[in-house]
Amino acid sequence: MSVEDLRDVLRERAEGPAPANPYRSEQVRERVRRVRRRRTVATVTLAGAATAVTVLASVAVTGALQPGGRDAASVPRVDDGGAELPAYYVSPDGTAYRRLEEATVDARGEKTTITVTSTGRPLEAAVMCGRDPFAIAPEVLVNGRPVESPGIACAGPGMQLRPLEVPAGAGEVTVTFDTTGPACVRRTEHGPCTPERPRGGRWKVAVYDWTPPERPVKPRPVTLPDRLDGAKRIKGFTGTWPGDGSYETTVTAPGRYTIERDCSGDLGDRLWFKYWIDGVESPSLTGCGARSLGADAFTVRKGQKVKVRVRVGLWGAATNRPVAWAVALYRK
Amino acid sequence: MADRAIFDDFVASRTDRLLRTAYLLTRDWGVAEDLLQESLAKAWFAWPGIDEPEAYVRKVLVTTYTSWWRRRWRRELPSDALPEQPVEDRGDSGREEVWRAVGRLPARQRAVIVLRFYEDLPVSEVARLLGCGEGTVKSQTAKALAKLRVDESIMKESYR
């Protein structure tokens, strides 16, 4: 073989059809913003005292994350429902999100379907929430089936994302945003759930995919306090998902127990917990952000030995985006 | 010196060729795009002081690639174990074998081959890009060509 043959091989390979990327400029600018944020936070962290660092770093990050159309850096935070879903953004853990398609859906009852070609990357549905904390966001379906993760619940203005479960090998994926279903609103913690009156306006919805960070992003460690609501922490465990996925313990001291949990990491609110108390499985999965429900509480009587088993999982994909979690048993 | 106002124009109009170079280095279009964007982002910060943007980005691209390889982020594990049989030109299958053999070269040798025989850069320019001496470029070229079983009688051509 000659050098000319080698040249030919390289040319043949390099000058084949390359995937077009009309978004390269946007994506490069997004990388630039990420680097700037890292530098800003690092500088502040090195410079100040501990308290000042906390305040300034959060200002630096928050400031960088403010929206402003396509120049908005990361997680969009908006003051009203008129904000746009960004074409690109980077979450605080450095994950790059890209909007594939967007649409609107009438809040008074409509189904809007977005069809996207599966890129092999994780897909997520997005809804731009407005100021109304009682507004019922559209239900999300993938290929006609409701998503497994909890529905989108607006608690204030800003973008809400939910992972989409895409069948393996799916070429095209249809994502439906549905506002036609029955819905009710509980306006106080223990109040009745009353039918929601249709409100005007249209929801802005979209489908995003994301590219995992190059390396796992270490989440902030989480710990639960020694005392909580008058109860004393008896036992506990801290771990990082996906490495740690379960915990088992046995309690014998008589009293009323509750199980508490906490999570950190960008996907912390997607971690779910399931309990087995004395072999009885809890009826549903509990999200990390939810407060303990009745099913997470139990009583140990004198002379009784109760085994508690906790299993942890996560809704959606989480490549290189681990979640730190803690669980603890409190006794009153 | 480059004006940041023309950065977007540069990205839009001048980066396709660099993407192809990145592909030859990484052998994967997705990783190549990642490598290119990483290099462009690095270049952005130095942009006002850059005289020759394309040459500068190419240099960043090559050094970023070799640093990725060192850190093994990409899980690319080139092997020193090369086939014992010389690569012969047997039409398409022979070209395929050459391409596979290029992929087995260590990162720095692969970079030398791509810069010398795809970008057609002279030894002095390759040395400048890689931050090494011309003698190193020549020796790396010779080693790479030997592994690729390129006809040694023609190798002298590569030392111009």
Of the candidates A218, A267, A242, A214, the one whose C-alpha atom is nearest the C-alpha of residue A75 is A267
* pLDDT(A113) > 90: yes
* pLDDT(A38) > 60: no
pLDDT at A22: 75
Chain B hits for A319, CB-CB cut-off 8 Å, are: none
The b-or-e profile of B27-48 (16+ CB within 10 A means b, else e) is bebebbbbbbbbbbbbbbeebe
Chain A hits for B16, CB-CB cut-off 8 Å, are: 18
pLDDT at A191: 64
Tell me the pLDDT tens digit for each residue of A181-237.
665 655 555 566 666 555 567 889 999 999 988 889 989 888 888 887 778 999 999
Chain B hits for A35, CB-CB cut-off 8 Å, are: 41, 45
Q: What is the pLDDT confidence band of residue A101, given thresholds at 50, 70 and 90?
A: very high
Record: contact B117-A18, CB cut-off 8 A: no
Q: What is the pLDDT confidence band of residue A79, given thresholds at 50, 70 and 90?
A: very low
Q: How far is A15 from chain B (nearest CA, A)?
A: 7
Lowest-confidence pick of A114-118, A137-141, A308-312, B71-75: B71-75
pLDDT at A16: 80
Of the candidates B95, B105, B104, B7, the one whose C-alpha atom is nearest the C-alpha of residue B57 is B7
Q: A residues 159-218 near B, CB within 8 Å?
A: 214-215
Taking CA atoms, what residue in B is nearest to A1?
B150
Q: Could you tell me the domains of chain B?
A: 2-71+94-159 (1.20.140.160)
Taking CA atoms, what residue in A is nearest to B8?
A25
Q: What tokens were used for A51?
A: 């308290």
* pLDDT(A46) > 80: no
pLDDT at A82: 60
> What DSSP string describes A220-247?
PP----SEETTEEEEEEEEEEETT--EE
* pLDDT(A291) > 70: no
pLDDT at B83: 37
Residue of A137 and A49 predicted with greater confidence? A137
Lowest-confidence pick of A57-61, A218-222, A305-309, B35-39: A57-61
Chosen from A4, A7, A8, A10 to mutate, greatest number of chain B CBs within 10 A: A10
Enumerate residues 6+ apart whose C-beta is below 8 A from B10.
B2, B53, B54
Chain A hits for B155, CB-CB cut-off 8 Å, are: 3
Could you report the predicted ipTM of this complex, rounded to two decimals?
0.81
Q: How far is A27 from chain B (nearest CA, A)?
A: 7
Chosen from A1, A33, A36, A71 to mutate, greatest number of chain B CBs within 10 A: A1
Q: Which residues of chain B have pLDDT under 70?
A: 1-5, 69-93, 151-160
Residue of A312 and A24 predicted with greater confidence? A312
Q: Is A20 on the interface with B (CB under 8 A)?
A: no
Chain B hits for A25, CB-CB cut-off 8 Å, are: 8, 11-12
pTM listed for this prediction? 0.50
> For residue B53, what are the CA distances in angstroms to A82, A231, B9, B46, B68?
40, 64, 12, 10, 22
pLDDT at A258: 87
Q: Is A32 on the interface with B (CB under 8 A)?
A: yes
Q: How far is A80 from chain B (nearest CA, A)?
A: 31
Q: What tokens were used for A12?
A: 């043949």
pLDDT at A321: 94
Q: What percent of chain A has pLDDT over 90?
A: 32
Tell me the pLDDT tens digit for each residue of A133-169.
556 788 899 998 888 777 777 766 778 899 998 887 7
Record: contact B20-A15, CB cut-off 8 A: yes
Give the residue-averaged pLDDT of A18-32. 77
Enumerate residues 6+ apart whose C-beta is below 8 A from A254.
A300, A301, A302, A304
Residue of A6, A8, A215 lying closest to B73 (CB–CB): A215
Q: B residues 88-147 near A, CB within 8 Å?
A: 88-89, 94-95, 98-99, 102, 113-114, 117-118, 145
**B137 vs B140: CA distance, rounded Å:** 5
Tell me the pLDDT tens digit for each residue of A244-259.
999 999 999 999 998 8
Record: contact B117-A3, CB cut-off 8 A: yes
